[in-house]
Amino acid sequence: MHIHLFYEFGEEFDKTFISLIPPEVKITVGAELKGVGEYEILVGAFRDDKYFKHSKKLHTLIIPWAGVPKMTAEILRENYTHINVQNLHHNSQATAEMAITLMLSTMKRIPIIDADFRKSDWSRRYKTQPIQLTKGKRAVVVGFGAIGKKIANMCKAFGMDVSIIKRSHADAVNFYTPDRLSEVLLKADCLLLAVPSTPDTRGMLTAKELALIPDDAVIINIARADIIDEKALFNELQSGRLRAGLDVWYNYPKGEEEYKSTDPSQFPFGELENVVMTPHLAGDSIDNEILRAEALAKLINQAYNNEPMENKVDLGLGY
């Protein structure tokens, strides 16, 4: 078996990955295809099809994270429907933990309190703060994949009543299909988004849906920014009616030279005290590359042993 990794994930990844797969598996790495033979499994995400055309033996593409980039999905749907697509969910625990961290930071107003106290300002201690408790609150988790399931369990551990918005098999108690989203939003104290960006989910929350959410509720987005209408979200937050913890954005740096100077939105979210902001790092941790290596090795071993590979992506659905 021959696998080709488009990305170089680093020494920790290499050491772990090589130790977990059979020595008979051939591994090549890098963007350069010169001298690379016909691989059967390709690991990466792509803007053109040269890596798909290069090997007539290619049968599986593994996207080394959750979801499929739009351009890669379009190429596959047009000409390469015979290629199986798999995801890695190695960072689902980290992402779920960040969702809860953002939720608690927003409900407890940690960033604002921290900023004042760094200036030796104790005044918030001596007046009642709009700090919320989790116990008894209604958490609505949109999406019930690897991340959404973990978020739901964590919310339950904090004493929250959890409702799930899920595309299929939503016949259990507190499970709802997307067509009932408006109904569920009316009772949401905390809305946590954990869905992929697909034609069905992009723009899921417009000004109409946001207006249904109760006053002082919290919106947490660790999914994709385009799930929520950008202007509508800013307007609601600017009014002070809602709170939010946001890890995903509408504008990203196009290169390293823009890392320290790129506004994440056309609107000044950073001026709002009721918003906690992080730069799309929910899935990160110091163990990330080891976890990625373990997850990828599991898929490679399944293929090597002629077993079904888990985390298969349905390109028609987008996840």
- 319 residues of the chain, pLDDT tens digit each: 999 999 999 999 999 999 999 999 999 999 988 778 799 999 999 999 999 999 999 999 999 999 898 899 999 999 999 999 999 999 999 999 999 999 999 999 999 999 999 999 999 999 999 999 999 999 999 999 999 999 999 999 999 999 999 987 655 678 999 999 999 999 999 999 999 999 999 999 999 999 999 999 999 999 999 999 999 999 999 999 999 999 999 999 999 999 999 999 999 999 999 999 999 999 999 999 999 999 999 999 999 999 999 999 998 887 8
Return d(Cα 148, Cα 157) in angstroms, integer.
14
* Residue with tokens 């779920």, as numbered in its chain: 96
Q: What is the pLDDT of residue 13?
A: 97
Share of the chain above pLDDT 90, in %: 92
DSSP state of 174: T
pLDDT tens-digit map of 254-306? 999 999 999 999 999 999 999 999 999 999 999 999 999 999 999 999 999 99
Q: What is the pLDDT of residue 169?
A: 66
Contact at 8 Å (CB) between 243 and 233? no
Contact at 8 Å (CB) between 258 and 292? no
Residue 36: strand, helix, or coil: coil
Amino acid at 184: V
Q: What angle do CA 281, 163, 190 make, to 5 degrees?
A: 50
Q: What is the pLDDT of residue 24?
A: 97
Residue 41: strand, helix, or coil: strand
Residue 302: strand, helix, or coil: helix
Amino acid at 141: V
Q: What is the pLDDT of residue 12?
A: 96
- Please give the structure tokens belonging to residue 195: 């869905």
Contact at 8 Å (CB) between 234 and 221? no
Return d(Cα 15, Cα 230) in angstroms, integer.
42
114: region left, alpha or beta (phi > 0 left; psi from -120 to 50 alpha): alpha
Backbone angles phi, psi at 237, to 5 degrees: -70, -40
Residue 124: strand, helix, or coil: helix
pTM of the model: 0.93
Q: What is the mean pLDDT of the chain?
A: 96
Q: What is the pLDDT of residue 172?
A: 63
Contact at 8 Å (CB) between 176 and 206? no
Residues 6+ away with beta carbon under 8 Å from 112? 273
Domains of the chain: 2-90+286-304 (3.40.50.720), 92-277 (3.40.50.720)
pLDDT tens-digit map of 137-171? 999 999 999 999 999 999 999 999 999 999 876 55
Backbone angles phi, psi at 161, to 5 degrees: -85, 125
Closest by CA position to 165, among listed 177, 152, 150, 148: 177
- Please give the structure tokens belonging to residue 261: 């100077």
